[in-house]
Structure 1
């Protein structure tokens, strides 16, 4: 079983990839997308989104990081894909799943699921341009408004030469509303012979087991679930290997949050720290009741120093409780 860390714009940056891959369980990361319009982008655009390119295309824990591109012009995507692998990306991923309105309005992401021929042309151009030893992969949703083109799109992606397909088992219109329709992935797997990675609504090892059973997949991609429970990838693998797992205890999560705070403040000069930590809490509170309580304090704070002090106070408080 392979577990892939999903790209999540504005949340899963290189610092978060570093944190989550150190915990264990992940085999591959996909970056936030590089937006390609009508030019070959300078190297700095790639290294800003994927600083790991300067370290051999892997996180400090040694997990490969694949650059993801988003756009609608086959030739420009092909040229930028070549640049990505020349800079050290171990392959290229193409985003046909992003549901963001701004992206879709400019013919990027999930809106291309209405254009089967465009999907084919993009994958073919990228596959033809990128040396054969590098995988060219794609991520899709089941469709834009409905599933009428799901199998046609999957076929086009396979026939154009994609090495692997990841499927978020919802349409763009479904957004992130439960459920994810994992049995659809099985239909796709029966239609095309390449590997299909299952994605969507995997929050626990139990969800992972059900997803694998209903989709027939052997590989998973985790996004929001890994933010809600930072040890989820490791837990899933432990559950499958031994029949049991130990969810990361809350004090350990607090230590992780403090470590992340140090990274974020030093790494990006703290520019986005306040927003990012609050965003992470919006996921953590789905799996940890303690996060909900702490979030009430953090949400009104703006200064990095105040946020860090609150986290430190919470960790000291939990340590004192466990000592008594």
Structure 2
């Protein structure tokens, strides 16, 4: 039986596109696993993007998306000129930026502290305790906030009164909206967010810590010179992803915490789009506002990624 000798220069003579196709055909089983994910994104992420054109039209239900008259940037101009524009941008940026600056470092600190715990049993107990709030629904969380901060029956106001202070109607005062929003976000998501940093810490070579201990380094020095540099690429990527959502403040929580008394601080772009789009049926205008929000997020994530790549050599793309 004779076999054909493989020509070692054959792959080099192929075009780049042909070589790429050959690699795909050789590993077709792996690409088959990607089909469900690709189908999901095509059907539920990319195909609905055809509806973005509503932002540039005066939408009418009978002729539909394609038959509605084209108005260009009129919806965007209307949004920029509305009296609510400045307040919406200010509230949205205030909530998102403060949440990013205050909430983002907490999971990192938790992961560093948990990584230093010597007792595995106690470490598992602490992890379970701080992970649990993540599984509480937003509706239940907001209910807890209203219950604990109630001016009459809330435990927080009972403590304030017991200490000689004056009871505070937290959910009715605009100044307390952001502290309650950010504080509850830390309590609910900080423990869960620390998982990815714990995974990054587990990938650090233990020999680095052993060598540092032999050189006389204490725990704080090892955290500063070994743990933090080891998880820096992960921190950078997570920060880029968070910066890309700077305009996308969670609608559900903000809407549920919103009252007629704190609306001056709690009205953000997400709640505004819901009210104008669904409650008032201004689909074209609300789509324009949502598209503006997405464009700002795209610019932010691209800018932060570019800066990070120049400074730390770590980037998302």
TM-score, shorter chain, exceeding 0.5: no
More helix by percentage: 2
Q: Which one has the largest radius of gyration? A: 2
**TM-score, normalised relative to structure 2:** 0.24
**TM-score, normalised relative to structure 1:** 0.24
